[in-house]
């Protein structure tokens, strides 16, 4: 049995740990299979919506905070083949473009690409999930 878990990130990065927790939980769910029985699995999806799309901005530099960036977390997620979706309406509303967002982890050797999709497509993906988690 596959449990599909949707991680919906609507929080801005850094002021709280919400979005970082979402990404780390989503990434961790890729390794949880060692605890599962045969035939069981967990399939995560990540949706960045509302202000949450800011988590995927390129050129983040958190040296002065002494923490890793949400840019790196996003890339790590893609490296581990997490499906990551940005809400198209929010990307456009906030004046962002595909060029300004992390869309792949090519530099780390990842194959998965993030996608900018309409909220309707995100809702369709959420409808297929067993559990929804909003951060």
Partner 1 sequence: MKLAVFKSDFRTGGDMLDRLSAEKLGIIFVGNGIYHAAVKDAGAADPVLQKSANFYVLAEDLEVRGFNASQVPGNVKVVTYDDVVDLIFNEYEKLVWV
- Interface residue list for partner 1 (CB under 8 A): 12-15, 51, 54, 57-62, 64-65, 69, 71, 93-95, 100
The answer to whether 51 touches 8, Cβ cutoff 8 Å, is no
- How many residues make up the chain in this entry? 135
The answer to whether 54 touches 12, Cβ cutoff 8 Å, is yes
Q: What is the DSSP letter of 110?
A: -
Give residue for tokens 């490296």.
Answer: 79
Question: Please, which residue, 44 or 56, has the CB nearer to partner 1?
Answer: 56
Q: How many CB atoms lie within 10 A of CB 92?
A: 12
Closest separation in Å from C-beta 5 to partner 1 = 27
Closest separation in Å from C-beta 49 to partner 1 = 14
Question: Please, which residue, 11 or 29, has the CB nearer to partner 1?
Answer: 11
Question: Please, which residue, 34 or 64, has the CB nearer to partner 1?
Answer: 64
Give the sign of the dihedral formed by CA 76, CA 82, CA 83, CA 85: negative
Q: For residue 101, which phi and psi values (nearest 5 degrees)?
A: -115, 155
Closest separation in Å from C-beta 94 to partner 1 = 6
Closest separation in Å from C-beta 101 to partner 1 = 9
Question: Please, which residue, 43 or 89, has the CB nearer to partner 1?
Answer: 89
Rg (CA), the chain: 14
């Amino acid at each position: 049995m596959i449990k599909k878990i949707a991680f919906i990130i609507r929080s801005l990065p850094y002021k709280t740990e919400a979005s970082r927790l979402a990404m780390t939980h989503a990434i961790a769910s890729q390794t949880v299979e060692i605890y599962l029985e045969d035939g069981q699995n967990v399939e995560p999806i990540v949706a960045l919506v509302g202000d949450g799309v800011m988590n995927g901005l390129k050129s983040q530099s958190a040296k002065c905070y002494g923490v890793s960036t949400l840019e790196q977390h996003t890339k790590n997620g893609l490296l581990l083949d997490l499906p990551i979706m940005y809400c198209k309406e929010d990307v456009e509303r906030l004046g962002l473009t595909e060029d300004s967002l992390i869309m792949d982890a090519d530099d780390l050797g990842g194959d998965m690409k993030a996608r900018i999709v309409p909220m309707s497509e995100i809702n369709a993906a959420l409808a297929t999930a067993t559990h929804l988690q909003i951060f």
